[in-house]
Amino acid sequence: MTNPPRHEPEAPRDLVGIGVGPSNLSLAALAHPLAELDAVFYEQRPGFDWHPGLLIDGATIQVPFLADLVTLADPANPWSFLNYLKARDRLFPFYFAERFHIRRAEYDAYCRWVAENLPGLRFSHQVDAVRWNSERDLFEVDFTQLDAEGEAQSLGRAYTKNVVLGVGTVPHVPDPLRPLAEQQGVPVVHAADYLDHREAFLAAEHVTVVGSGQSGAEVFLDLLRHRPAGREKLHWIGRSEAFAPMEYSKLGLEHFTPDYTRYFHALGEPVRDRLVASQWQLHKGIDADTIAAIHDELYRRTLHGGWPDAVLTPGVQVRTAGRIATTKVELHLEHVQQGSRSRLTTDAVVLATGYRERPLGRLLAGLDPYLRRDNSERPCVDERFRLVLDPSVTGSAYVQNAELHSHGVGAPDLGLAAWRSATILNSVTGKDPYPLPARTAFTSFGLEQHGERVPTQHRQQPLQLTPLAD
C-alpha cells in the first residue's frame, strides 16, 4: 500500500474530510492510493460506528456486497470487501455461502477493518468550524481533540484547499413524541438505540413499534420471534398507506445509477421536490424477504388455532402522546383514510421513524456569506457535489449524504458511495484518477441526455418525434 505523504505543521492539506461514516470512509479509501494527495479525515467519535443499535441478528443491507466502499469505482482497490474477506481468511466460506446481500453486522465489521487500518483518519477529533481565509486562499478547519471520556483535550486548526462534509444523518423523532423520548427512564426509544434497550423491550408487557419502513419491520420481527405464542402483545403502526415492499425491480433500481442522479440534478427545483416526496418506496419501503419472514412467523402462530396477539395497522399517525401513572404510555392515534381517532395504551415504544440529514448550519456558519442557496434556503450543490460558493472562494467544499434535495434518492444510497467519492476525487485532483463510465443505465430518463458528454461511440441516437395527426 502507498505510504501517506509527510505533512508539515501549518502546511495546507489538499483535502480535509469532516466525519467518518461510510461516505467519507469510501472517500478516504479511494484517496489512499493517490500518493500526491495529502488528505486527513476528522471524526468526533472514538471509532467507526455504523448504526450499532440496528445490527439485529440476521438483518441484511439492501445493496449487494459489490456496493462496498471502493469496488464500483476501483475493483482492484485494496480496501474492497473481497480483500477484507481474504485478509480474514474467509474468502472460500463466503464463496460457498452464495450471499449477494451480506449481513448488516458483516458490513459494519468490514468498515471497521478499513477504519482501523487506513491511515489518515483522526478519531476523537470534533470539528467546530469551517471558514474561508481570503488572505491565504485556504479553508480553516478548527477542531477539538477529545480524550477517552469525550472531554476537550486540546484545540487545533488545519488549513486545506478542499473540504468534504460527510457528517451523516441523525435519528428523527416526531414532534408529538419528542418530550417523552427526551425524558430519562421513559420507555420511548428511537430504533437507532434498539439493541441497547432490547432486553427491556422483550420484558415489557406490551410494545408498540411506530414506523412502517425497514427498521420498523426488523424491530417488529425481532420482537415477534422472541415473545410467547398467543401472548405477543405487539402493535405495529405507521403513517404510510401500507406495509409496502421496497421497489426492487431491475429497471426500478436504475434510479440509483449515476445516469439518474445526473438527470435528477438537471431538473428544476419544484420538480425535484415533488419527486423526492413521491419516491419513498424506492428507499423507504420494506425488503420483500423481511415482509415474507414476518408473515411466515405470524402464520406459524396460527397452526394450532387462534390468531397471534399482534396488531398491524398502516395509515396511522400519532397526534399526541403522554404518560399514564408512572409506567404506561398513551398514544393518541388518527387513521388518515378513515379520519377516525383512538387511544392506545402501551408499556414501551420503539420509534422506527427514520433519519434526517444532519443540520450543517453550525459547521457552515463561517461560509454563510459565500454560500448560494435555493428557494427553500438549502445549500446549492453542483453536479460534482460541490457547494456553490461565491467566485471569490477559490477552494471547493463538497458534501456527501446531504444533497437529497439536489441529487435525489441516490444521495444516501451505499451503492453510489464509491462513484460519488471518485467524482469528488476527480474534481479535487483535476486528473481523473478514477475514469467513470459515461453510461450506467438502460433507461433514458429524459428526452435529452444531461451531465457529462457521452463519447460518440456510446452516444444514443436522438429520439425522433412524429407530430400526431389532428
For the chain, the structural domain boundaries read 15-168+358-429, 172-246+284-355
* Average of per-residue pLDDT across 118-131: 97
198 pLDDT more than 70: yes
Closest C-alpha to 358, from 410, 409, 400: 400
307 pLDDT more than 60: yes
Closest C-alpha to 450, from 281, 268, 316, 307: 268
**Confidence tier at 283 by pLDDT (50, 70, 90):** confident
Common-topology check for domains 15-168+358-429 and 172-246+284-355: yes
151 pLDDT more than 50: yes
| pLDDT at residue number 456 | 38
**Confidence tier at 325 by pLDDT (50, 70, 90):** confident
Q: What DSSP character marks residue 129?
A: E
Closest C-alpha to 426, from 387, 386, 389: 386
* Average of per-residue pLDDT across 251-270: 97
Chain centroid to CA 265: how far? 19
Closest C-alpha to 191, from 104, 279, 109, 123: 104
On whether the CB atoms of residues 75 and 81 are closer than 8 A, the answer is: no
Q: How far apart (Å, rounded) are the C-alpha atoms in residues 116 and 235?
A: 41
**Confidence tier at 467 by pLDDT (50, 70, 90):** very low
On whether the CB atoms of residues 34 and 80 are closer than 8 A, the answer is: no
| pLDDT at residue number 381 | 97
4 pLDDT more than 90: no
Chain position carrying cell 441523525: 170
Residues 73-78: contacts with CB within 8 Å, 24+ apart?
A: 73/30, 73/418, 73/419, 73/421, 73/422, 73/434, 73/436, 74/30, 74/33, 74/418, 74/422, 74/434, 77/29, 77/30, 77/33, 78/1, 78/33
| pLDDT at residue number 176 | 94
pLDDT in tens, 393-440: 999 999 999 999 999 999 999 999 999 999 999 999 999 999 999 999
Q: How far apart (Å, rounded) are the C-alpha atoms in residues 210 and 79?
A: 37
| pLDDT at residue number 449 | 57
* Average of per-residue pLDDT across 378-394: 97
**CATH superfamily for domain 172-246+284-355:** FAD/NAD(P)-binding domain (3.50.50.60)
175 pLDDT more than 70: yes
| pLDDT at residue number 469 | 42
On whether the CB atoms of residues 127 and 142 are closer than 8 A, the answer is: yes
> How much of the chain exceeds pLDDT 70, in percent?
93
| pLDDT at residue number 30 | 98
* Average of per-residue pLDDT across 282-310: 94
Q: Tell me the average pLDDT of the chain.
A: 92
Chain centroid to CA 267: how far? 23
3 pLDDT more than 80: no
Pick from 85-99, 139-153, 449-463: least confident: 449-463
Closest C-alpha to 113, from 79, 148, 71: 79
Residues 226-230: contacts with CB within 8 Å, 24+ apart?
A: 226/202, 227/202, 229/301, 229/308, 230/301, 230/306, 230/308, 230/309
* Average of per-residue pLDDT across 330-354: 96
Say what the pTM is.
0.91
Chain centroid to CA 145: how far? 26
More confident position, 132 or 6: 132
Q: How far apart (Å, rounded) are the C-alpha atoms in residues 265 and 260?
A: 8
Q: How far apart (Å, rounded) are the C-alpha atoms in residues 329 and 84?
A: 45
Q: Residue 368: CB partners within 8 Å, gap ≥ 6?
A: none
Side chain identity, residue 84:
Y
* Average of per-residue pLDDT across 66-70: 97
* Average of per-residue pLDDT across 369-377: 96
CA 354 → CA 12, 216, 242, 454, 455, distances in Å? Answer: 38, 9, 16, 37, 41
Phi and psi of 87, rounded to 5°? -65, -30
Pick from 196-200, 303-307, 449-453: least confident: 449-453
**CATH superfamily for domain 15-168+358-429:** FAD/NAD(P)-binding domain (3.50.50.60)
If you count them, how many residues does the chain have?
470
9 pLDDT more than 90: no
* Average of per-residue pLDDT across 13-29: 98
